[in-house]
Structure 1
Amino acid sequence: MTGSTWPLAPSVAALAVALLVIVFAGKSLASTADTLADRTGMGEAVAGALLLGAVTSLPGIATTAIGAWQGDAQFAIANPIGGIAVQTVWLAIADLLYRRSNIEHAAASLENIMQALVLVALLCLPIVAYATPGLTIGWVHPASLLIPVLYLYGLHLVRRLRQNPMWRAEQTSDTRQDVPYDADGDADGAPSTRRLWRRLAALAAVVGGTGYLIGQGGLGVIAATGLPSGFVGFTVTTAITSLPELVTLIAAVRIGALTLGIGNILGGNAFDSLMIFLADAAYRPGSVYTDAASAGLLLAGSTTLLTVTLAAGLILRERRGVGFEGVAIPVVYLVTVVLLLARVA
């Protein structure tokens, strides 16, 4: 690892400060994005992917860039992949909070299913890169270069699907449809659309600024404790950088914007895959896949399994209680953490 790291006490303090800032700033993100989804006509699933997904991913971007720039390949690759995994676990927590029905059933959305499939494709690219670590263009693997291309094409497919869906989920009494409630603009003292965009930008700046604290704090914890970089990146720092997703998901569930909440998670996960490209580009010694070793392959494979499980839950739509995905997702995550620790035991 290159560059200087902070001592343990300042590192822990930085992580705590970042956590508090994220929690307070994240509370108003869901309502702001939900209103903008209605005002602009983009819909909750797309707003969750583009607006919330991008904003809530900002801390992870800074954390990943700092880890890669300072030469810690495992930390750099574990943060984006770990963020995807932790954020998927958040859905299992939301399932417990939403007691009316299974949240994947209530938030029936073809766009969210498509986003899950695009995310699976995005996660397959790092696995291909791990199998061919010596194949590079400059110091970046070609698979990393394909990630932003596939991400943008995935957004195009989701938009096309919204405009011309070829099938629809069966509507039940538990289904919560995406029905605009504020599409008529700035009536009845509601904030103007321009003001909402400014509020979203301000929240993005605050949330994004925590990424520096999390990145430096995480590297400081690794240096001071000797914990494996992949373990800290997959658990500690990603749990903090992913808190905006959890806060906005819970807020979305409370206001009944379930499609927005799940779109936030899946959109944030797809956006986090762009950080894999960032990790490879910012890692100066060479391809990040070469030095991240088998830990990164374990994380990519497990996170792909988590995403497939979520997609299966969205398609099967168990109606009552916590579905099979609500149990399987936390179990897969915990098993992955155990396997990470077993590698260094």
Structure 2
Amino acid sequence: MPDLTALGLPAALALFLAASLLVLGAGVHLTRLADRLADMTGWGEAIVGGVILGAVTSLSGGVTSVSAAAGGHAELAVSNAVGGIAAQTVFLVVADWSYRRVNLEHAAASLPNMINGVTLIAMLAIPLLARQVAPATFWGIHPASFMLFAVYAGSIALARRSREQPMWRPLRTRETREDVPDDEDSGRSPWRVAAMVAVLGLLVGGAGYVIAQTGLVIASRTDLSEGIVGTLLTSVATSTPELVTTVAAVRRGALTLAFGGIVGGNTFDVLFTAFADLAYPGSIYHAMTGEQVFVILLTIVMTTVLLLGLIQRERHGLANIGFESVLLLLLYCGGMTLLLGGAVTGG
């Protein structure tokens, strides 16, 4: 892959914008393909949204984190991963506002989405636990990375089992939108659709490399730290497919897919830290600074609020969004203000 770190700031900004637009454009087509794949395979919108759609739309962010870690830039790698999770959680506020009929968390409540939310909190806590113990690696990989992969794989199996043999269901109301397969696509071969998703994934991944390289240039040519660039620039740029696919899914009436694509995709995004650890020379968890720890803790609080919204299932609230959406906006804006203001300290 070409080294773009020698570019000047204007050229880097132009490439950064072009790659971001490519990622955004790919996201426009992914929702329709994922919805069809859910119907063709019978896996359901929550699982396809959380695993396939979440993974593909996250490829650019994963490539950004891994390429940054391979170059020894741990701050950018981790900030991009956890900053993207926080930004994507706020995207649900946009989706909630765009669905005018009722609060999104009320209509899209499902057991797989609840499982994804709980799993996300557990996975976010693992890097913090790893950071508090003495660094130890096996074949250059920290044991926490193996734990992240194991928890993620276990959550997928649990979510699928809960769909096939549910032991808990949300109360069905007039506004509840259940995942009902489209008879037009059911039974057809999913391989062509899967191939199209894979091609879009490759484009998104390549754009992620460009975003990582140009992000390093922006950090080195300005007064912004790699942590700030990762949290507020590269993570948001690589997360734009999630915004597009979520709003598009809401407009298609695929509410479970919209919610699952964000929350399930967020659990996949935590794996960026594990992938970055594979590429980083040493334990990436012990290279985290106070900025990355702050964003992880903020995201845990935000995910908890989101789960409370799923449990409470408020029908309507301020500006036709639920109380959880209002709190998510306040938490994210407040946290980013503290981060930019230099109020976050700690090594």
TM-score by length of 2: 0.93
The partner residue of 1:199 within 190, 196, 199 is 196
SS of residue matched to 1:315: helix
Amino acid at match of 1:292: M
Shift of 1:136: 3.5
**Is residue 289 of structure 2 the alignment partner of residue 293 of structure 1?**
yes
Which of 303, 306, 309 lines up with 1:310 in the alignment? 306
Which residue of structure 2 lines up, in the alignment, with residue 210 of structure 1?
Answer: 207
Q: Distance in 1 between matches of 2:186 and 2:131?
A: 50
Contact 1:133 1:289 in 2 (8 A): no
Cα contact 1:231–1:337 (8 A) shared by 2: no
One-letter amino acid of the structure 2 residue matched with residue 287 of structure 1: S
1:165-208 CA distances to partner (integer Å, 9 max, x unpaired)? 1121111111111011134445xxxxx63321222122112222
What is residue 338 of structure 1 aligned with on the other side? 337
In structure 2, the residue matched to 1:189 is none
Match of 2:255 in 1: 258
Q: Which residue of 1 aligns with 2:177?
A: 176
Does the C-alpha gap of structure 1 residues 69 and 6 become closer, same or farther in structure 2, counting only changes over 3 Å?
farther
Instruction: Measure, in 1, the Cα distance between the counterparts of 2:135 and 2:264.
Output: 31
CA distance in 2, matches of 1:306, 1:277: 22
Is the contact made by 2:291 and 2:344 (CA closer than 8 Å) also made in structure 1? no
Letter in 1 for 2:312: L
Contact 1:6 1:216 in 2 (8 A): no
Aligned to 1:232: 229
Superposition deviation, residue 115 in structure 1: 0.6
After TM superposition, give the deviation of residue 24 of structure 1 in Å: 1.7
Cα offset, 1:3, TM superposition: 9.6
Q: How far does the alpha carbon of each residue in 1:217-260 deviate from its partner, in whole angstroms, 9 at most, with x for none?
A: 11110011020111110111111100011110011001000000
Paired with 2:344 and 2:152, the residues of 1 have a C-alpha distance of 34
Taking only the aligned residue pairs, the percentage that are identical comes to 44
Aligned residue-pair number: 338
Q: Could you say if the C-alpha distance between residues 279 and 296 of structure 1 is closer, same or farther in structure 2, counting changes exceeding 3 Å? A: same
Paired AA for residue 258 in structure 2: G
Contact 2:42/2:186, CA 8 A, preserved across alignment? no
Q: Which amino acid aligns with 1:7?
A: G
Aligned residue type for 2:232: T
Deviation per CA, 1:125-151, whole angstroms, max 9, x where unpaired? 011012125343354332222111111
Q: For 2:310, give the aligned amino acid.
A: L
Distance (Å, rounded) in 1 between the aligned partners of 2:191 and 2:74: 41
Secondary structure of the structure 1 residue equivalent to 2:289 = helix
Q: Is 1:326 the counterpart of 2:325 in the alignment?
A: yes
Secondary structure of 1:28's aligned partner:
helix
Amino acid of the structure 1 residue aligned with 2:154: Y
Change in 2 beyond 3 A, CA 1:130/1:3: farther
Cα contact 1:67–1:75 (8 A) shared by 2 = yes
After superposing the two structures, state which structure 1 stretch, 146-155 or 135-144, moved more: 135-144
Deviation of the 1:4 alpha carbon: 4.3
Aligned to 2:270: 273
Q: Which moved more, 1:93-102 or 1:192-201?
A: 192-201
Q: Sort the Cα spacing of 1:133 and 1:343 in 2 relative to 1 into closer, same or farther, 3 A.
A: farther
Runs of 5+ consecutive residues of structure 2 not aligned to the other structure: none
How big is each residue's C-alpha offset from its partner over 1:99-131, in whole Å with a ceiling of 9 and x where there is no partner?
110001011211100110011110010110121
Does structure 2 retain, via aligned residues, the 8 Å contact 1:110–1:168? yes
CA change 1:50–1:73 in 2 (3 A) is: same
1:220 equivalent in structure 2: 217
CA contact (8 A) 2:290 2:344 kept: no
The letter for the 1-side match of 2:164 is Q
**Unmatched segments (≥5 aa) in structure 1:** 187-191
1:67 touches 1:73 (CA, 8 Å); kept in 2?
yes
Larger CA deviation: 175-184 vs 135-144: 135-144
Q: Which amino acid aligns with 2:333?
A: L
Q: What secondary structure is seen at the aligned counterpart in 1 of 2:288?
A: helix
What are the residue-to-residue correspondences of 1:1-345 with 2, within 5 Å?
4-182=5-183, 183-186=185-188, 193-284=190-281, 286-320=282-316, 321-341=320-340, 342-343=342-343
Gap change, CA 1:160 and 1:307, over 3 Å in 2: same
Instruction: Point out the more displaced range, 5-14 or 261-270.
Output: 5-14
> TM-score, structure 1 length as denominator?
0.94
Partner of 2:101: helix, strand, or coil?
coil
Contact 1:60/1:80 (<8 A) preserved: yes
Q: In structure 1, how many angstroms separate the alpha carbons of the residues matched to 2:303 and 2:6?
A: 34
Amino acid at match of 2:280: Y
